[in-house]
Amino acid sequence: MNSEKTLPLQIKDIAAKSENLSDFGLLLREWNHTLTRGDVSSRPAIARAIKEAPRILSEQFPEGNIADAYLAAYAEWIADKAGISRPPWTCDPRRSLEVPWFADNARASLIVLTPASFRHRNVFTIPEEVVHLRRGRPRVSSSQKKAKARARDRRYRQRVKEWIQKGRTADSLTAPQNTAH
């Protein structure tokens, strides 16, 4: 696996960093973690994560055709789950297997339980559920929250200063003047 320590943020990053099928599996798991634990909780964020086509892995290592079919099926399945349009690159015929591939020996159950986007590419597996759309505002990092709080605090202090200035000038105009008789 490449020596880069950054997690894959998009589906194309999995293919870019994969040098063999083992790397591919580890990177796919890390990407799943990024999707489920990171800030990928809205349809636009999910669309960005699967938008760009990954490189063709069948040209990179012997089992690359399995990885190509898996990525296309996974992107299509995620798009369907999120209710967004499928990325056009998933239609590439190079991203399907001629011979069925099974994730484990429970072939009968995999034939029944595998989602359609995987089945029609001859990939029989049960993918990890990664689409968790949230209602309301998107997640914000703690650094973004702190920056927003600092800006809000600056605005508040500015308003207080203006209020004090207005109060002093108003007091000086309306205060009774001491005149000596």
Predicted confidence (pLDDT) per residue in 143-158, tens digit: 889 999 999 999 999 9
Lowest mean pLDDT among 1-5, 44-48, 60-64: 1-5
Mean pLDDT of the 75-96 span? 94
Task: Say if residues 1 and 23 touch (Cβ distance below 8 Å).
Answer: yes
Task: Say if residues 30 and 49 touch (Cβ distance below 8 Å).
Answer: no
pLDDT for residue 43: 86
Phi, psi of 28 (to 5 degrees): -65, -40
Burial class of residue 59 in the structure, from the number of CB atoms within 10 Å of its CB (0-12 exposed, 13-18 middle, 19+ buried): exposed
Residue that wins the pLDDT comparison between 57 and 129: 57
d(CA 126, CA 112): 10
d(CA 131, CA 79): 9
Mean pLDDT of the 80-103 span? 94
Sign, CA torsion 95/100/103/109: positive
Q: Look at residue 88 and tell me whether its pLDDT is greater than 60.
A: yes
Q: Look at residue 138 and tell me whether its pLDDT is greater than 80.
A: no
Helical segments of the chain, H only: 11-17, 21-37, 43-50, 64-82, 107-113, 116-119, 142-174
pLDDT for residue 172: 54
Q: Name residue 15's amino acid.
A: A
pLDDT for residue 42: 82
**Rounded to 10 degrees, what is the CA torsion of 66, 72, 78, 84?**
180
Query: Does the reported pTM lie above 0.75?
Result: no
Q: Which two tokens stand for residue 177?
A: 């003047």
pLDDT for residue 129: 82
∠ CA 48-51-55, nearest 5°, is 130
